[in-house]
Structure 1
Amino acid sequence: MDFQTLILFVVLGLAIIAFIREMFPMEVVGFTAMVILIIFGIVTPKEAVEGFSNSAVVTVGALFVLSHAMVKTNILNLLVTNLENFGGKRKWLVIGILLTSVAIVSSLINNVAAVAITMPLAMQLAQRFKLSPSRILLPLSYASIFGGTMTLIGTSTNLLVNEVVIKAGYPPMGMFEFTKLGAIFTGVGLIYIFILARHYMPNRAIISSLTRKYHMSAYLTEVRVAEDSPLIGSTCLSQQVSSRFNIIILEIVRDQQKMSTDLRNRILQENDTLIVQGKLDDILRMKSELKVQLLTDTKLNDEDLNDAENAVQEVVVSPGSSFVGSSLQAINFRARYGLFVLAIQRAGTTLRDKVSHIRLRDGDALLVFGHRTKLDQLRHSTDVFVLDVVPIQLHKIKFWWMPVTILPAIMILAALEFIDIMSASL
C-alpha cells in the first residue's frame, strides 16, 4: 500500500467517524476531507470541484429550493390534514392515510421536506390515539423512502443514477419510467408495515406532558417573596439571581397577573410569586439566602405553564439549520426570539444543565417556554420546525400559487421529453 492510498483510507475513516459521532456539521467534514485530499495530491483541484458541474447535483439543488417553496405555501399541509380527517377515530385507517399521503408527497418533493410537513400531524395522532410517537414516526420515515422510488425526482439517488446512465451512452430515464415498479415496491412496503413491522416497532412510554417527557418536574417550581426577603424593592438583576443560583426566572405572578417580559428588571414586591427553573440544591440555597418560600410540593407541569399568553412548546432543529454547530448563547437565542429553552433532548438523552452552552445538532428537540406570539414567530424560522399542528392558511403567502404550478410543469415537460430534467428544474 503506497502513501497516498494510506492517506485516502485514513481520511475516509476519520470522515466516517466524524459523521457517526456528529462531531461537526456534515458539510464541514465533507469539505475538510476534500481539502486534505487536494493537499496530498490524491485529487486535483479541478477533480475536487467537478461534482458541482454535475447536472444531477444541480438538479437536486434546484429541487431542494422548489421543495422548500412547496413547504412554505402550506398547500401540502392542507392536503395531508384533509386526508387525515377522512379516517375519523379509526386509528390504523388514519395512520394508513397519513403514510400513503407522505409516500405520494415524497415522490414529488424531497424526502426530508415530506417528513417535516407531516411530522407535527404524526405527533398529534400519537397523542390522540395514546401511541408511542416512535410507532408512527418510524413508519413515516419508511413511507417517505418508499415514495421516493416512484418518480425520477423522488430521490436524489434516482437523479444520480440517471446521470451515470447518460454518461454511459444510454438514453436518459423518463420521469415515470419506473413508477409501476416503484408503486409496487411502495405498496408492498406499506402492507409490510401494517401487517408485520408495526408489531416490532419500539413501544416507548407514552408521554402526555412535555415537562414529564423532559423530566423537568424536579426543576420547575414556584417560590414566593417573603416579607423579610432582600428581593423586596429590588430586581433579579441587581440581586444576581441567575448568576448566583443558576436559576432561570420564567414568570412573575402578582395579584393573579402574570408577567413574562423584562423579568430581570422588574422591581419585586412582597408576596410576588416567581416560577423558576433550576436544580433542587440551587433552589434550596436561594430559599435560604433570599428568604423566599417554596410553594409547591407537587411540581409544575404543562398545565401550570400554559395559559392565554404563555406556553411550553417542543421544537426540533431542522436539517441544514444555521443553529447546527452553535450554542444557544452564540446565536443569542433568548434575545433573538424572546423565548427560554428549558431543556434539550438528543438521541433519547435529556440535557438540562447549562443548555445555553451546548452545541446544537440537527434533530435536537428543544423544550421552549415563552409568549405565544413569540412562539408563532418562531414557526416562520427555517432553522426549526414546531411539533404541533397550526391553522393552515394559504392567503398569507403572496405567491403561493407559483411553486404549485411550477412543480407539475416540471414533471410534464420532463415526461414529454420537451426538455431535460435539469433544464426543467432550473
Structure 2
Amino acid sequence: MFTDMHLVFLILVVTTICFLVPRFRADLVAVHALLALLLTGLITVPEAFAGFANSVVIMVAALFIVGEGVFQSGLAQKAGDLLVKSTKNSEWKLTIFMLLLVAVLSGFISNTGTVAILLPVVVSLSRQMQLHPGKLLIPLAFASSMGGALTLIGTAPNLIASQSLADAGYGALSFFSFTPVGLTMLFTGILYLWFVGRRLLDKPIEDRTGNSTKFDAAELIEQYGVSDFIHTVKVPVNSELIGRTIKQLHLPATYNITVLEAIKKDRKPLSKITGRPKSIRITVDPSYIIESGDIFLIYADEDAIEKLAADTGLIRQKDSLYQLEEAHLAEVILTPRSRLLNQSIKQVKFRAKYGLSVLAMKHQFSEAKRFTKDEILLYGDSILVHGKWKDINLLSAEKNDTVVLKSAAEETDLANQTQKSMVAGLILLGMLITMVFEWVPAVVAIVIAAVLMVLTGCVRQTDQAYQSINWQTVILIACMLPMATALENTGGVTFMSEGLINSLGAIGPLAVLAGLYGITSLFSQFISNTATAVLLFPVAILTAEQMAVSPIPMVMAVAFSSSMAFATPVATPPNAMVMAAGKYTFLDFVRVGVPLQLLIAVVAIVLLPLFFPF
C-alpha cells in the first residue's frame, strides 16, 4: 500500500537526485520540493511557509550582512595583510598561520567569504616563495570548513542544531558548545595537512611561476595565449577617423575586435621645454575621441586586423615594442555561487557592468582560449580581463561573483578604512559578547549587529547589504525545513530512527552515533550540508529519545559531519572555489580529503560522548 510516508520519501529521493545534478540550482530544487509537499497535502500552508519565519533563517541572512561589513570595512583584508607580514618567506609559517587564520575567521564570518579574501593573498605568497599554489589551496579550503565548526554562528548547520534542540525542549546550545571538539578536530586536521596533505599535493612549480616576486603580466599573457591577438596600429595624419569616438566605429560588431589601449605623445609644456616628450597610455573606453598620431593596442585575430587596416587606412606597426600595461591586466575566477555562471559574456554584459574587456578564458581541465561573445561561463572557469586599475579594484571588492586572483592594479584610496575596520571590529566583538553571555536572544544580537554595520557605513549602501545575502542559502533552509516537518508528520523520521536502532542499537549508542555521522558524511559530499543537516536532526533527536539517551551528542555528530566535507570538490563552496586556482583534479580531493574525512570522524566519535555524555 502506497502511504503518505512513501510519497514523502519519493519526493525526498527525487529532490536528492536533483541536488546532485549541477545544472539545477539547489534553492530552486528546494522550492519545487516545498510545492510538491504542499500540493500533495502532506503539509499545510502554515507548515509550508513556517520556515521563512524561523529564527535560524533570519540569523543566517543577518550574518551575511555582518560578514559584508567585515569585508567592506577592510577588517578581513587586514587579516590577510597580517598573513603576509607574518610568513617571512617560511613555508612552515605560511602554512600553519594560514590554516589558523582562515579557521578563526571562518568561526565568525562566512567561510566562503573568508576564502575569497585570502585566496589571492595565498596565491601571491606562493609565487613569491616559489611554491605551487596547489600545495596550499586545498588546505585553505579544508581549514575554512573546520573553522566554521568552532562556534555556534560559524556555519548554518550549527545554528539549525541549536534551534532543533531548543524546539524539542532540550534547550539551545551555547556560543562555544562546539568549540572543544571543534578545536581538537582543527588541530588534528592541521597536523594531517602539514605532515601528509601537503606531500600528497606537492606539485612541480610551473616554468614561470615564482621567478619573480612581482606580478608578471607576460606570464599571464603566455598562460592564456593572447600574445598572437595583440596588434598595434597607428592613426595617420588626415585620417577620416580623427574626431570620431570609438563607439561610433562599431568595431566589435563589424570586425570582432576590441581596442584596449591608446598611446599618444605628452603635449604638456614641460615636455616641450625638456625636449623629451613622453608617451601617455590610456585605457580606451567607448567615449574615447581618436586623434592624429594615436597608437592603439587592439585585440583581434589576424584576418580582422587586416580587414580593419584595409577599410580604415590605419597603419599596422609590425615590430612595435609596445606591450599591454600590466596594471591593466587581472586573472579572475568565478565563485561557486556566482550569478555569472551558465550565462554568456554577451548575456551578462560584462564590459558594460564592470568596465573590463575579457581577453581569454580557461574552462576547467581545458587549455586557455580566446573567448567568443556567446561563450558560456561555467563552474571552475577563470578569465583574463583588461581595463582600468580602478575597475579591477572594484571587481576585486565584488566577492559574491568573482575573485581577482592575480593583479598589479593599484590599491584604492580608502582614507577612512582603518576607522571603519575598527568600527566593524567593535560591532563584531559586541555581537559575540552579547551572544556568549546570552544578554539577549542570539537572533536579536545578530540582527542588531547587521543593522549597525549599515548605520555606521561599514556596509556602504543598504542595497549592498541586501546583495550580500546569499539568498540561495536562505531559501534552501526555509524550504527544506518543511521537508523535515513532512517526514515527522508521516512517520518517516520514526522509520529512519527505528532503522538505525534495529541495525546498530544492539551495539550501543556510540555505534548509533557513528552511524549517524557516517550517513551525514556521505550525503554532505554531494548535496548541501544545510539540507543534509535539516533532514537528519529530527532523526538524531528521535533516535536518542527512543534509546533513552541524551540527544545532544547525536545532534552534534550530525552538525559536525555535515560541515566536514572534504572528499569532493562540490562538497562545499570553498572546495569549489580553490579548484580552478590550484589546478586540481577531482582525484586530488579524493586522495587528500578521504583520509582526513576518516581521521576527523574518529576524533568526533571518540570525543563527543566525552564532552556530551549519553
TM-score, normalising length from structure 1? 0.82
Q: Where in structure 1 are there 5+ consecutive unaligned residues?
A: none
| 2:358–2:384 CA contact under 8 A, matched in 1 | yes
How many pairs were matched up?
415
Distance 1:132 1:407 in 2: 35
2:253 pairs with 1:243? yes
The residue aligned with 1:386 is 404
- The residue identity in structure 1 corresponding to 2:148 is G
The residue aligned with 2:77 is 77
CA drift of 1:170 comes to 1.9
Equivalence map 1:86-125=2 (5 Å)? 86-125=86-125
2:188 pairs with 1:188? yes
Equivalence map 1:308-327=2 (5 Å)? 311-318=328-335, 321-324=338-341, 326-327=343-344
- The residue identity in structure 1 corresponding to 2:182 is G
Q: Where in structure 2 are there 5+ consecutive unaligned residues?
A: 210-215, 266-278, 448-614
| 1:175–1:415 CA contact under 8 A, matched in 2 | yes
Distance 2:44 2:220 in 1: 52
Give CA deviations for 1:348-373 in whole Å, capped at 9, x if unaligned: 44453324x44546764332211223
Picking from 3, 7, 13, the partner of 2:17 is 13
| 1:225–1:293 CA contact under 8 A, matched in 2 | yes
CA drift of 1:166 comes to 2.1
CA drift of 1:274 comes to 2.7
The residue aligned with 2:132 is 132
Structure 2 CA distance for partners of 1:239 and 1:418, relative to 1, 3 Å: closer
Distance 2:67 2:160 in 1: 18
CA drift of 1:254 comes to 3.7
| 2:95–2:194 CA contact under 8 A, matched in 1 | no
2:296 pairs with 1:274? yes
Distance 2:202 2:256 in 1: 36
Distance 2:26 2:286 in 1: 39
CA drift of 1:190 comes to 0.9
The residue aligned with 1:156 is 156
- The residue identity in structure 1 corresponding to 2:143 is A
CA drift of 1:420 comes to 3.5
| Matched position secondary structure for 2:87 | coil
The residue aligned with 1:334 is 351
Distance 2:446 2:243 in 1: 64
2:166 pairs with 1:166? yes
| 1:220–1:299 CA contact under 8 A, matched in 2 | no
| 1:143–1:186 CA contact under 8 A, matched in 2 | yes
Distance 2:319 2:44 in 1: 67
| Matched position secondary structure for 1:366 | strand
Distance 1:295 1:283 in 2: 11
2:211 pairs with 1:211? no
Determine which structure has more spread, i.e. the larger CA radius of gyration: 2
The residue aligned with 1:369 is 386
- The residue identity in structure 2 corresponding to 1:16 is L
Give CA deviations for 1:246-291 in whole Å, capped at 9, x if unaligned: 111112334444333345764464x643312233443455456656
| Matched position secondary structure for 1:419 | coil
The structure whose residues are more often helix, as a share, is: 2
Distance 2:233 2:42 in 1: 64
CA drift of 1:184 comes to 1.5
Structure 2 CA distance for partners of 1:405 and 1:241, relative to 1, 3 Å: closer
Distance 2:33 2:370 in 1: 34
Distance 2:128 2:64 in 1: 32
Distance 2:300 2:194 in 1: 44
- The residue identity in structure 2 corresponding to 1:63 is L
| 2:341–2:377 CA contact under 8 A, matched in 1 | yes
Distance 1:179 1:210 in 2: 42
Deviating more after overlay: 69-78 vs 209-218 = 209-218
2:395 pairs with 1:352? no
The residue aligned with 1:404 is 425
| 1:106–1:144 CA contact under 8 A, matched in 2 | yes
Give CA deviations for 1:303-333 in whole Å, capped at 9, x if unaligned: x2226xx510123444655545554434443
2:257 pairs with 1:253? no
| Matched position secondary structure for 1:76 | helix
Distance 2:359 2:413 in 1: 28
- The residue identity in structure 2 corresponding to 1:273 is I
- The residue identity in structure 2 corresponding to 1:13 is I
Structure 2 CA distance for partners of 1:265 and 1:414, relative to 1, 3 Å: closer
- The residue identity in structure 2 corresponding to 1:278 is A
| 2:107–2:151 CA contact under 8 A, matched in 1 | yes
CA drift of 1:26 comes to 3.9
CA drift of 1:142 comes to 0.9
The residue aligned with 2:324 is 305
Distance 1:239 1:359 in 2: 27
Distance 2:324 2:156 in 1: 43
Equivalence map 1:409-420=2 (5 Å)? 409-420=430-441
- The residue identity in structure 2 corresponding to 1:423 is V
CA drift of 1:6 comes to 4.7
Equivalence map 1:38-57=2 (5 Å)? 38-57=38-57
Q: Percentage identity across aligned positions?
A: 27
The structure whose residues are more often strand, as a share, is: 1
Equivalence map 1:53-72=2 (5 Å)? 53-72=53-72
| 1:219–1:278 CA contact under 8 A, matched in 2 | yes
Deviating more after overlay: 175-184 vs 138-147 = 175-184
The residue aligned with 2:610 is none
Distance 2:416 2:81 in 1: 17
Give CA deviations for 1:132-171 in whole Å, capped at 9, x if unaligned: 2222221111111121222222222211222222233323
| 2:232–2:318 CA contact under 8 A, matched in 1 | yes
CA drift of 1:195 comes to 0.8
- The residue identity in structure 1 corresponding to 2:94 is V
CA drift of 1:58 comes to 2.3
Structure with more relative contact order (C-alpha pairs < 8 Å, separation 6 or more) = 2
Structure 2 CA distance for partners of 1:267 and 1:191, relative to 1, 3 Å: same
| 1:8–1:37 CA contact under 8 A, matched in 2 | no
- The residue identity in structure 2 corresponding to 1:277 is Y
| Matched position secondary structure for 2:346 | coil
| 2:259–2:284 CA contact under 8 A, matched in 1 | no
Structure 2 CA distance for partners of 1:164 and 1:246, relative to 1, 3 Å: same
